Amino acid sequence: MANRKKLKRILLHITIWISILIICLPLIYAVIISTRDLQGTFVSPPNLKFGSDAIETYKKAWTTVNMGRLLIIKFGSDAIETYKKAWTTVNMGRLLINSGIVAITTSVVKIILAIMAAFAIVFFDFRGKYVAFAAVFLTQLLPVPVKIVPTFELMKAFNWVDSYYALTFPYFATATGTFLFRQFFLTVPNDLVDAARIDGCSPMTFLRKVLIPLSWNNIGALFLVEFVYMWNRYLWPLIITNSEEMRVAQIGIKMLMTTGSINQWNIIMAGAIITLIPPLIVLLILQKTFIEGFVMRTGK
Amino acid sequence: MNESYFKEKILPYLLVLPSVLVIIIFLVYPFYEAFKLSFFQGGAWGTNQIFVGLENYINLFSSPKYLASLGRTLLFASLVTFIGLAISLGLAVLLNQKIKGRLFYRTAIIWPYALSAVIAGVLWALLFDPSIGLITYIVKVLTGIRINWRTNGNLAFVIITIAAAWRNIGYNVIFFMSALQNIPKQILESAEIDGASSFQSFFRISIPLITPTMFFLLIMNYLYAFFRTFGLVDVATQGGPGTSTEILTYKLYKDAFVFFDAGSANAQSVLLFVFIVGFTYLQFKYTQRGVFYG
């Protein structure tokens, strides 16, 4: 009996390891390819040996995006030289910074707006409350493709094309976040609210001193969800930005794909891996909070 | 329900105002415009609008290309959903056992949650690359056939399906795991005492108890496959070869921003909206839970 249990356990571990290997294979292969030079990607038969050119390849991925971008724009030859000098050292860095600015700003604003709206909906009785609630829900029904041409036109009218405003503002409202905080606020005992009111505590003080300190789990979870979501946006940035400086990292990968007549897989993979690291770090740090503060709550 | 309210009259309006403004300006108004302009045709981007009634819609439904894209998207979404959910449920059950290293295992399985569609697209495009792809090579060794998605539309479709399903595994596993953990231990224990095998208690107890989560994920995966796979297609296959991977969002993008046919694009947007409403309605009807994708 004990032996059978042990055998079962070993089999379980083996099955899990095989699953992990299969799930991680695309990434492992990408990492391996990204450590080779271009010639190294053409080795036949393909193998899983790491190359010795890791640093070179990553450097190239960092700087090649710039080349790709310059080819797209087709400025005069002087501009190319100037741009080259100005951008070779940063470009992929610039894209990552853009992605970071967009993802962090949007996540923080979304969290703040969600807390405000949920606070109003749960702790106040006001006319139009359900209209507001329904409006928030609408955000779920109206993702980018459902209104893509007019939103683009609107950005043109605002003169926001190719700006951080266009990359962030349309995303500020969040039904996910508002519902998440609403559900959490509903679990706050009435006594706590009454006590606060009797003590002459103003609503905003109650929010600051009582609710927010209780909400850190939810805030962390929502930050993860929104950060990953925003970092990974592609369609909207593709349409709404066109200059070198405003592109984001996801688009940088596409640019690496279209640079040159053959796919330089080593460089593309290096770019992909660089771009994957920030959301992966956020996930690793916040996964526990995410599961406790988001999944358990929305999963009920 | 909370019955204790603060008495301030103006404050709640100020609190909801920012969200409501964003929603009206950036969501409702553009959608209203899309709806309105779906009944118009005009020069590129809104010049000389002519009212054409339902013509844009009629054109779409009589266009073999649009209908093919619609059918393709439904097939794609169904495959992504069912393959993804079956694999994810299996993984969640494995991870839900009491074993050493569970936290590490969980992380090693759910990390694709952090992946973008674009990265999923390039990773699988590399594996299936006609000349240097690892999978291309393995298939060659096993069957002697050199597969090439650039000339084989079905293969291209398979690649984007696998890539899309693979990318969503992390998300699905997270939700399945928490659903499995919410099953009261006593129920499973008493079933064991009554002599139920682990297969029996899985299919007779666990599965029925996690049905709400399963339905929630079912709808989420359909929405995901419809709306969050554009980047994957754009980097891996650009809708090709031919139109064999041209899903609805990709066709919409091309009609809007490559062919500048705003009237048709707006009509396609409205039809996509109908799909979302349908999915959301089903979700509310069966799970009474909101849609969550950020």
Tell me the per-residue pLDDT of B63-99, one tens digit each, with 9 for 90 and over.
999 999 999 999 999 999 999 999 999 999 999 888 8
pLDDT digits (tens, 9 = 90+) for A153-210: 999 999 999 999 999 999 999 888 999 999 899 888 888 888 888 888 889 999 998 8
Considering only the beta carbons, identify the residue of B31, B177, B266 that sits closest to A142: B31
Cβ atoms B149, B156 nearer than 8 A: yes
Considering only the beta carbons, identify the residue of A44, A206, A253 that sits closest to B235: A253
Residues of B in contact with A26 (CB under 8 A): 123-124, 126-127, 166
Three-state DSSP class for residue B195: coil
Three-state DSSP class for residue A296: helix
Average pLDDT, chain A: 82
* CA neighbor of B180 nearest in space, from B290, B103, B113, B88: B88
Residues of A in contact with B99 (CB under 8 A): 9, 12-13, 16
pLDDT digits (tens, 9 = 90+) for B177-202: 988 988 888 888 888 888 888 788 88
pLDDT digits (tens, 9 = 90+) for B124-151: 999 999 988 889 988 988 888 889 999 9
Fold (CATH) for A59-298? MetI-like fold (1.10.3720)
Average of per-residue pLDDT across A101-113: 96
CA dihedral angle for residue A227, residue A230, residue A232, residue A238, rounded to 10 degrees: -160
Distance separating alpha carbons of residues B111 and B113, to the nearest angstrom: 5
Q: Is pLDDT larger for residue A39 or for residue A135?
A: A135
pLDDT at A90: 39
pLDDT digits (tens, 9 = 90+) for A5-37: 888 889 999 999 999 999 999 998 888 877 776
Residue A139: Cβ-neighbour burial (10 angstroms; 0-12, 13-18, 19+): buried
Q: How confident is the model at residue A68 (pLDDT cuts 50, 70, 90)?
A: very low
Q: Is pLDDT larger for residue B40 or for residue A73?
A: B40
Considering only the beta carbons, identify the residue of A125, A143, A290 that sits closest to B5: A125
Average of per-residue pLDDT across B17-34: 95
Name which of A16, A198, A273, A281 to mutate to probe chain B: the one with the most chain B Cβ atoms within 10 A of its Cβ: A16
- Rounded to the nearest 5 degrees, what angle is found at the Cα of B254, between the Cα atoms of B112 and A245? 65
Distance separating alpha carbons of residues B191 and A205, to the nearest angstrom: 51
Average of per-residue pLDDT across B205-219: 88
CA distance to partner chain B, nearest, from residue A178 (Å): 10
Average of per-residue pLDDT across B161-189: 91
Q: Is pLDDT larger for residue B154 or for residue A65?
A: B154
pLDDT at A79: 33
Residues of A in contact with B11 (CB under 8 A): 120, 124, 203-204
pLDDT at A161: 93
Alpha helices in chain B (DSSP H): 11-22, 29-37, 55-61, 64-95, 102-110, 117-127, 134-143, 153-167, 169-181, 185-193, 198-201, 207-209, 211-227, 230-236, 248-257, 262-287
Average pLDDT, chain B: 89
Phi first, then psi, for residue A31 (nearest 5°) are -60, -45
Considering only the beta carbons, identify the residue of B6, B91, B273 that sits closest to A203: B6
pLDDT at A300: 45
pLDDT of A80 strictly over 60: no
Contact (CB<8Å) A126/B12: yes
Average of per-residue pLDDT across B274-282: 91
Q: How confident is the model at residue B4 (pLDDT cuts 50, 70, 90)?
A: low
pLDDT at A293: 74
Contact (CB<8Å) A145/B269: yes
pLDDT at B289: 52
For B171, name the nearest residue in chain A, comparing CA atoms only: A295
Considering only the beta carbons, identify the residue of B23, B31, B91 that sits closest to A136: B23
Distance separating alpha carbons of residues B158 and B143, to the nearest angstrom: 18
**Share above pLDDT 70 across residues of chain B, in percent, rounded to a whole number:** 94
Contact (CB<8Å) B31/A238: no
Contact (CB<8Å) B33/A147: yes
pLDDT of A85 strictly over 50: no
Average of per-residue pLDDT across A66-81: 34
Residues in chain A, overall count: 300
* CA neighbor of A222 nearest in space, from A278, A166, A298: A298
Phi first, then psi, for residue A162 (nearest 5°) are 65, 40
Least-confidence region, from A49-63, A64-78, A94-108: A64-78
Least-confidence region, from A87-101, A216-230, A262-276: A87-101
pLDDT digits (tens, 9 = 90+) for A112-137: 999 999 999 999 989 988 899 888 88
Alpha helices in chain A (DSSP H): 2-34, 54-73, 77-87, 91-123, 129-141, 148-158, 164-168, 175-186, 190-198, 203-206, 212-214, 216-231, 235-240, 249-258, 265-290, 296-298
pLDDT of B293 strictly over 50: no
CA distance to partner chain A, nearest, from residue B88 (Å): 11
For B224, name the nearest residue in chain A, comparing CA atoms only: A143
Distance separating alpha carbons of residues A300 and A296, to the nearest angstrom: 6
Question: In chain B, where are the structural domains located?
Answer: 60-287
* CA neighbor of A46 nearest in space, from A60, A63, A59, A33: A33
Considering only the beta carbons, identify the residue of B22, B177, B290 that sits closest to A169: B22
Residue B59: Cβ-neighbour burial (10 angstroms; 0-12, 13-18, 19+): middle
Contact (CB<8Å) A142/B132: no
Q: How confident is the model at residue B166 (pLDDT cuts 50, 70, 90)?
A: very high
pLDDT at B282: 87
pLDDT at B7: 83
Q: How confident is the model at residue B43 (pLDDT cuts 50, 70, 90)?
A: low
Contact (CB<8Å) A120/B1: no
pLDDT of A285 strictly over 70: yes
Fold (CATH) for B60-287? MetI-like fold (1.10.3720)
